[in-house]
Amino acid sequence: MCKICTYCGRWKKTIEIRLYDEKRRKVNVGDLIEFTNITTDEKLITKVTSIYTYKDFDELYENHNKVSIGYDEIKENGVVGIEVNLYNK
């Protein structure tokens, strides 16, 4: 499903940050989500306990413990925006 982060595996990062798109709007409290480490194929099954919606990432950052959202990892590694175009063979 998505790349598992070491913080999640050690239960420090407890909030997964995503855009609130159509797919994420279908997620409900009580749902199970499986994360897979694409390098080791290790799987981690988690249960959704809360859903927080905000207008932007800044508002989310202001309202949660930095460790719970993996902020230390962001601070250490930075962030990236990857622009893509449709590829037709």
pLDDT averaged over every residue in the chain: 78
pLDDT-derived band at 42, boundaries 50, 70, 90: confident
Chain segment 6-39, per-residue pLDDT in tens: 445 555 778 888 888 888 899 999 999 888 888 8
Which residue matches tokens 């063979």? 89
DSSP 9-69: HTTS---------HHHHT--TT-EEEEE-TTT--EEEEE-------SSHHHHHHHS-TTTT
Residue 52 has pLDDT above 90, yes or no: yes
Judged against a pLDDT cut of 50, whether residue 63 lies above it is answered with yes
What value does the mean pLDDT take over residues 53-69? 87
pLDDT at 10: 54
